[in-house]
């Protein structure tokens, strides 16, 4: 659970999920986390509509969330 951001599942695709990342203090959408096929990983895609500043803590929390999604995806794939 992040103190400054909220990760909301926005869409379930057949094999992956899409999440939106929201600021809790400004209630604005910061970007999206989704599957990036060329890298075969979940990645963070910042919104083009806003100018955002990310502290090291914010970047770490986004990184931890993306890492968990990638780990869960690998585990799920191995179980099949």
Predicted confidence (pLDDT) per residue in 18-75, tens digit: 999 999 887 789 999 999 999 999 999 999 888 888 899 999 999 999 999 999 999 9
Q: What is the predicted pLDDT for the residue at 44?
A: 97
Is residue 22 within 8 A of residue 10, CB to CB? The reply is: no
Report d(CA 45, CA 36) in Å as an integer: 10
User: Quick one: average pLDDT of 1-15?
Assistant: 91
Q: Is the dihedral of CA 62, 64, 20, 28 positive or negative?
A: negative
Is residue 21 within 8 A of residue 29, CB to CB? The reply is: yes
For the chain, the structural domain boundaries read: 5-79
Is residue 76 within 8 A of residue 68, CB to CB? The reply is: no
Q: Which pTM does this prediction carry?
A: 0.87
């Amino acid at each position: 659970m992040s103190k400054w951001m909220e990760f909301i599942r926005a869409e379930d695709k057949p094999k992956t999920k899409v999440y939106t990342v929201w600021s809790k203090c400004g209630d604005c959408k910061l970007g999206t986390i989704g599957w990036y096929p060329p890298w075969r990983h979940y990645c963070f895609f910042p919104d083009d509509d806003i100018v955002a500043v990310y502290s090291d803590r914010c970047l770490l929390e986004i990184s931890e969330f993306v890492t968990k999604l990638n780990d869960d995806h690998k585990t799920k794939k191995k179980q099949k």
